[in-house]
Amino acid sequence: MTEVEIKKILNGIKADKASLPTRYLYDNLGGILFEAITELPKYNATRDELDIFRDKLDEIAEVLPDNACLIDLGAGSCRKAAHVIPSLQPSRYIAVDLPSDFFVQSVSSLENKFPHLTVNSLSLDFSQGFKVEQVRKLQGKNSNQEPLVYFYPGSTVGNFNPDESMKFLKDLSADGILIGVDLIKPPEVLLAAYNDKLGVTAAFNRNALLHLNRDLGTNFDVELWGHEAIFNDEKSRIEMHLVSLENQIVESSHGEILFRKGQTIHTENSYKYTVDSFKAILDSAGYNNLNSFVHSSERYAMFTATKDL
C-alpha cells in the first residue's frame, strides 16, 4: 500500500463519522466467515437466490446471450457460478474478487468442476469501477466473438448507494447482466439477519480490524470492539458498525488514535430495494429488456437485462 492510501484510510477511521472501506471485511477469514453467514437460519439471501436458480434458470438463460463471457463480480466461493454455468453455458468464465487465498482456492475448485470451460480470474478491487480492458486481455483474439454477461449475485451491489450503483452499472461494458438484489422487508426481519445470535456476523465485522492491522500496522484489539447492525429507514439500508467498548488508544504508523467508549466505525452499507426501485436504476443505467425473478417469499429478486452498446 502507498503512504497516500494508508493516510486516506487512517483519516477515515479518525473522522467524526468514522468509516472503513467495505473491502476490509473480506480477506481469507472474511471469505470463510461470509460463507458461514449464508448458512445462518435468518440470513435468507443466499438460499433465496439458489431457489430462484432452481426454479427460473431456464427462463433466465433464454433472455441472456449465448456463448458469452460470464464475468462474476465478487465471485467469493464461486458457489453461485457452479449453479448457473450448466444452464447459461458460457464460453468463458471470469471470476473477479479481492485478492485472497480463499478466492484462489474457490476458482481452482470451480475449474475442477468444469474442466472443459475456459476459466480465468481477476484479483482486484472494483469499488471505483470495473475496467473492461482487463477482460479484453484475457479474451485475446476472442474479444469480438464473446458477448459480455455480468453475473453480480449476493446483493453485493447493495454495498454501493443507489447513485453509485447506477454509475457502476452504467459504466459496465455489458451485453447482458444477471444481478441479485435483497428486497425491503420489515426492519425486525432484516435486523435478525445481521445480528445473529451465534455471533458469526459479529466475527465477520470485527475481522475487518485484523485485516486493518495487517495492512496498516495498527494494533486494534478485537476484544475491545462490539458489533452493531442498524436499519437506516430513511436511506433504506442496513448499516454495520464496530463500537468501541471502552476508551482506548490504537497505535498506527502516523501516531496514536483515541477512541472513546461508544464511538463507532462504519464498516458496511447494504441497501435494500423494491423491484420497481431497482428496475429504475437499471433503466437509468441504460439497460433494456428488464426482467425480474422474485422469490416466492418476496424477500429477494434477481434481474436480467441487456444493453445496446
Between residues 203 and 245, which has the closer beta carbon with respect to ligand SAM?
A: 203
Least Cβ distance, residue 189 to ligand SAM (angstroms): 18
Between residues 22 and 267, which has the closer beta carbon with respect to ligand SAM?
A: 22
Least Cβ distance, residue 20 to ligand SAM (angstroms): 12
Using alpha carbons only, give the angle 175, 289, 70 rounded to the nearest 5 degrees: 30
Report which secondary-structure segment, H or E, holds 53.
Answer: helix 45-63
Between residues 156 and 218, which has the closer beta carbon with respect to ligand SAM?
A: 156
The answer to whether 34 contacts ligand SAM (rule: CB under 6 A) is: yes
Q: Determine which residue in the list 43, 52, 70, 80 makes contact with ligand SAM, applying CB under 6 A.
A: 80
Between residues 168 and 259, which has the closer beta carbon with respect to ligand SAM?
A: 168
Q: How far apart are CA 40 and CA 32, in angstroms?
A: 13
Least Cβ distance, residue 76 to ligand SAM (angstroms): 3
Least Cβ distance, residue 87 to ligand SAM (angstroms): 17
SS3 letters across 264-308: EEEEEEEECECHHHHHHHHHHCCCEEEEEEECCCCCEEEEEEECC
Query: What is the greatest pairwise CA distance in the chain?
Result: 59
Q: Determine which residue in the list 23, 136, 170, 185 makes contact with ligand SAM, applying CB under 6 A.
A: 23
Q: How far apart are CA 284 and CA 167, in angstroms?
A: 9
Pairing state of beta strands 92-97 and 148-152? unpaired
Q: Determine which residue in the list 69, 75, 85, 193 makes contact with ligand SAM, applying CB under 6 A.
A: 75
Least Cβ distance, residue 190 to ligand SAM (angstroms): 15
107: its cell numbers: 476458482
For residue 261, with 0-12 CB atoms within 10 Å meaning exposed, 13-18 middle and 19 or more buried, which class applies? exposed
Using alpha carbons only, give the angle 126, 145, 73 rounded to the nearest 5 degrees: 20
Least Cβ distance, residue 253 to ligand SAM (angstroms): 24
Q: Which range, of 21-29, 168-176, 233-241, 279-287, touches ligand SAM by CB under 6 A?
A: 21-29
Beta-carbon-side half-sphere exposure of residue 195 (alpha carbons within 13 Å):
16
Between residues 97 and 239, which has the closer beta carbon with respect to ligand SAM?
A: 97
The answer to whether 147 contacts ligand SAM (rule: CB under 6 A) is: no
Q: Determine which residue in the list 43, 52, 60, 74 makes contact with ligand SAM, applying CB under 6 A.
A: 74
Answer whether 246's CB lies under 8 Å from 238's CB: no
Residues 152-171 that bind ligand SAM (CB under 6 A): 153-154, 156
Q: How far is CA 221 from CA 6, 209, 251, 255, 263, in A?
A: 19, 8, 11, 16, 15
Q: How far apart are CA 46 and CA 37, in angstroms?
A: 9
Answer whether 87's CB lies under 8 Å from 59's CB: no
Q: Which residue has the cell 443466499?
A: 46
The answer to whether 26 contacts ligand SAM (rule: CB under 6 A) is: yes
Least Cβ distance, residue 81 to ligand SAM (angstroms): 8
Least Cβ distance, residue 254 to ligand SAM (angstroms): 24
Q: How far apart are CA 112 and CA 46, in angstroms?
A: 23
Least Cβ distance, residue 53 to ligand SAM (angstroms): 11
The interface mask with ligand SAM, positions 90-129, x = CB under 6 A, is -------xx--------------------------xxx--
Binding site for ligand SAM (CB under 6 A): 22-23, 26, 31, 34, 46, 74-76, 80, 97-98, 125-127, 153-154, 156
